[in-house]
Amino acid sequence: MNCKHLIVTVLCLGLASIFYCEAKTTKTTSNTHYSGNPLLPGDFADPCILQFKDTFYIYATAWDSKDAIVWYSANFIDWKMRKLNWPTTKIGEVIWAPCVVKGKDGRFYFYSATGHNIYVGAANHPMGPFKNLLPNEQPLVKNRQYWHDMHSIDADCFIDDDGQAYLYYGSGHDWKNGMCAVGRLNDDMCSFKETPVLVTPKNYFEAPHLMKRNGVYFLMYSDGICIEDSYKVRYATSKSPLGPFNEGVNSPILTNTPDSLSWSSGHHYTIRFGNKDYIAYHKQAIPIYSPFWGPIRQVAFDEMKVGNDSIIQKVIPTRNGVIPTFAKNKTYCEPLHIVKATASAQISKAYSADKAFDNHNGTLWAAHAGKPAWIKADLGKITTVKSVVPVFDIIAGDYVFGIEYSLDDKNWKKYDDFKNNDAKEWPRASIKSVKARFVKLTVKSQTSEPKRIGLWELKIY
């Protein structure tokens, strides 16, 4: 049967995000639909996740962006991405590993490594606008400030039950000799009560994350090299947030798997919904592909189990993710069924046209860059098309594209023309009600990706 849903998420910023779909499916609620793995499309790493009211937010490293970004969702299935006002590469050449926490004062504190220094900003809403808490865009921690051999990146803020905030951070230079420090933060969240101290556990390289369960402090972290195949998640425990930390019995708890559902996985974050723990992490995309400095990494999300004996069980990576029963918004609509997918070209069978219609963020259609390319969907019969949502290889890339529709695959009419990076959020939906059997998207030009033109998904509703 048909289901029509108009979902409007009104944010405190006074803005609205509209998602419209018409679906023919029995999967109409998130109680019966999985979140999917990867959870997000595109090249994003080092995730931090939080929930505010009924909305979920994921902050991540975006190598193809000069701005910080956030993904948000009400149902934990349909995600939209926006750029944030701060930090930007104007204060440093890269923006690494954001961590956003809600302080005891109700404000949101944004810690990130930008230009190899750690900055902190604050806002009244998870989507900002954020402002540096220190004057003249000063960092909270300068690179090598306390220890010459430490790479001052990967900040993680933990707030204990008594309201005391701690900042964990640190890595090593040249992919070796990682160091981890922790400092108690003052109530202003942008200064230390005393000089940070080293708490580096065994087999540590970077990406510290602190969580507390049943009075035990778990310092979780990554070792290995994130651009190779050796990255993994470990943990150590202590009775104090200041250590000392001893590596856990079952460590590492997230490693490569033979089926490649986990490959060089690490730099994670944890969150608890009800009585269940979950882990957000990044993993390398398969097939491995390196458009810029290293392989594409994608955000995944799975359940994580912590025993009463303070042992974290091995994480079991999944293809489907989780059923988001913790989301209050249960509404979900699937795209229309595609009978046949064709394209003007494809790089290989691994990047065939059908990959853009498989409802999976880990596969994509891709053709070689350098000339226009098109992809076409056959719906099998004439039906009502309400919306077309292209999810490009580089989510906010400068793809100039056109969408057409046809009843007979011969006579085509314009549906929409747009330049993708002119949108305010991504993926952008083109909304118009037409009768069609065929829908075709043509990428006319782009300069964002030097090697390929691609779509993670082309969703037709």
DSSP string, 377-421: EEEEEEEEEEEEEEEESSTT---EEEEEEESSSSSEEEEEEEEGG
> What residue type is 231 in one-letter code?
Y
Cα–Cα distance measured from residue 251 to residue 235, given in angstroms and rounded to the nearest whole number: 6
Report d(CA 445, CA 449) in Å as an integer.
11
Q: Quick one: 283 and 141 in the same domain?
A: yes
Q: Is residue 30 situated within a structural domain?
A: no
Domain with 379 in it = 340-460
Residue 102 and residue 187: Cα distance in Å, rounded? Answer: 13
Tell me: do 277 and 409 sit in the same domain.
no
Rounded CA gap, 274 and 179, in Å?
A: 34
What CA–CA distances, in Å, run from 418 to 361, 377, 403, 428?
23, 19, 9, 10
Question: What pTM does this model have?
Answer: 0.93
Residue 460: which of 423, 426, 434, 422 has the closest Cα? 434
CA angle 325, 286, 360 (to 5 degrees): 35
Tokens describing residue 406: 């046809």
CB atoms within 10 A of CB 380: 12
Cβ neighbours for 446, distance < 8 A, ≥ 6 positions apart: 369, 397, 398, 399, 400, 453
Partners of 171 in beta bridges: 151
Domains held by the chain: number: 2
Location of structure tokens 């997918």: 341
Three-state DSSP class for 67? strand
* DSSP percent split of the chain into helix, strand, coil, nearest 5: 5, 50, 50
- Shared domain for 300 and 346, answered yes or no, is no
Q: Do 63 and 166 sit in the same domain of this protein?
A: yes
Are residue 363 and residue 299 in the same domain, yes or no? no
Could you tell me if 161 and 263 lie in one domain? yes
- Hunting for tokens 């002119």 — which residue is that? 422
Q: What is the CATH number of the domain that holds 420?
A: 2.60.120.260
Within this chain, do residues 254 and 348 fall inside the same structural domain, yes or no?
A: no
Q: Are residues 76 and 214 in the same domain?
A: yes
Distance from C-alpha of 149 to C-alpha of 50, rounded to nearest angstrom: 32
3-class DSSP assignment, residue 271: strand
Are both 272 and 381 inside the same structural domain? no
Buried b / exposed e along 390-413 (16+ C-beta atoms within 10 A)? bbbbbbbbebbbbbbbbeeeeebe
On whether residue 15 sits in a domain, the answer given is no
Same domain, 280 and 367: no
Domain-located, residue 75: yes
Q: Report the relative pairing of strands 80-88 and 67-73 from DSSP bridges.
A: antiparallel
Q: What are phi and psi for residue 166, nearest 5 degrees?
A: -125, 145
For the residues of 292-359, what is the DSSP string, one character each? SSS--EEEEEEEE-B-TTS-BPPP---SS----TT-S--B--PPPPPSEEEES--SSGGG-GGGGGSS
* 334 is a domain residue: no
Structure tokens at 393: 């290889």
Mean pLDDT by 10 residues, the chain (461 residues): 34 38 43 90 97 98 87 97 91 88 98 94 98 96 95 97 98 94 98 98 98 97 93 98 97 94 95 97 92 87 96 96 95 93 97 97 96 97 98 96 98 97 96 98 91 96 97
CATH number (domain holding residue 75): 2.115.10.20
Q: Are residues 187 and 289 in the same domain?
A: yes
Same domain, 143 and 200: yes
